[in-house]
Amino acid sequence: MWDWHVFGWGGWLLMTGVMLAFWGAIAYLALGWWRNGETASAARRDPKAILDERLARGEIGIEEHRARLEALRTPAESRG
């Protein structure tokens, strides 16, 4: 009924290429999903650690660092 010999080596090479592309796409998507998880967990870092890093890089001064730390310690209800 079906004569697969019509395609010869070209058919086998095409089939191999399609399979490699398929599994490559699966790996690419899995890696992207995994990296997204890393980025999301990095976004939930400790606010005090972020402030300490900004102070160490010189982005904020010591007074601003202290004020922001105090704001973090103060409950949200008393700030509003």
Q: The tokens 């690419």 sit on which residue?
A: 28
Other CB atoms within 10 Å distance of the CB of residue 1: 2
Sign of the four-CA dihedral 43, 45, 51, 53: negative
Strands annotated E in 1-80:
none
- pLDDT, tens digit, 9 for 90 and up, residues 4-49: 566 677 888 899 999 999 999 999 998 887 776 655 555 677 889 8
**What confidence category does residue 79 fall into, taking pLDDT thresholds of 50, 70 and 90?**
low
64 pLDDT above the threshold of 80: yes
* pLDDT value, residue 25: 96
Q: What is the pLDDT of residue 21?
A: 97
* pTM, two decimal places: 0.42
Confidence at residue 8, expressed as pLDDT on a 0 to 100 scale: 76
Taking the domains of the chain in order of start, what are their residue ranges? 9-44, 45-80
